[in-house]
Structures are given as structure tokens and as C-alpha cells.
Amino acid sequence: METTPEIVTRPEQPYVALRTRVPMARLPELGARFPEVFAWVGAHGLAPAGAPFFKYNVIDMEAELEMEAGVPVAAVVEGDNGIVAGVLPAGRYATVTYVGHPQDLVTPTGELLDWGAAQGLKWDADGDRWGCRLEIFLTDPGQQPDMSKWETQLAFRLAD
């Protein structure tokens, strides 16, 4: 891992997103759809209130992932035209920051899950369904085109 995992308290965060089901092999296709979400935000007179993220709702590695490509916004809004709106829940999250190509996030994800297990943490999850499991993309691709230098924060909500 690039940084030492830690537990942080995050406030609620309104967001808008594209929600889809995708097999693991087609995950990069969802990332390519972030411009649609940013375009929707701009067309509705909104501004991003933080870094874009993937939210993993259901993780079934053998079949499909239910995911969202999201952008935080300042206040709760209503979605339309394929964009959903929601609120990332407040709570305690186990986090770690990884520097490298997003395709290589499998290893730091496994390390964070292992770290949590070693700490006796309980995830906000019920089987394959997660309450809030995020990959937050901290690097602006327009500023840093070299994906091997991108920073991604993993933030997995803990059960109360």
C-alpha cells in the first residue's frame, strides 16, 4: 500500500452518477463515461464538490458488478436522463491512498480488506452488497496524463 490505512469519519455527501451493471472485464468502459456525468452536472448549473468516484454497490466477481460512476455535488438534487442522485452515507471509513494505474487497484484493495480483517473491523456489507465502498480518483487526468502516477483513495464504510 502507498499509505498506511486509517479510519476516518466522513460526512454525508450528495452526488449524481451513472448506475450500471458491468462484468469485471468491462469495468474500464464505465470510467470512460465520467464525461457524461460531468456534462450533466454542468448542464444543470452545478459544480463538482469533490473528486469523481466509483461506488461499488454489489460485487459479484464471477458475474457482474453493480456500480456507479459518480461526482459529488453541493446539495441533494434529482436525477434525470439516466443520471441517478444519491447521498454517500456519513460514517466511519477505512481508507488508504494508492499511487499507480487504476487497473492495478486489485492489490491495494485486497490489502485494505486484509488490514481491516486483522484489525477486527466489520464492513458495512451484507454478502456481496456494500453500503458504501468507494474508489475516489484524486488526480485530474487533464493535469496528469500518466496513469501510473494517479492517486486513488479507497474508502470502505465500516458497520456501526
What does the pLDDT look like over 101-123, one tens digit per residue? 988 999 999 999 999 999 999 99
Q: Are 110 and 158 in contact (CB under 8 A)?
A: no
SS3 91: strand
Question: What DSSP state is assigned to residue 139?
Answer: S
What does the pLDDT look like over 93-102, one tens digit per residue? 999 999 999 8
Assigned CATH topology for domain 6-157:
Multidrug-efflux Transporter 1 Regulator Bmrr; Chain A (3.20.80)
What does the pLDDT look like over 43-56, one tens digit per residue? 999 999 999 999 99
pTM: 0.94
DSSP 58-81: EE-TTS-EEEEEEEE-SS-----T
What proportion of the chain, given as a percentage, has pLDDT over 70?
Answer: 99
What proportion of the chain, given as a percentage, has pLDDT over 90?
Answer: 85
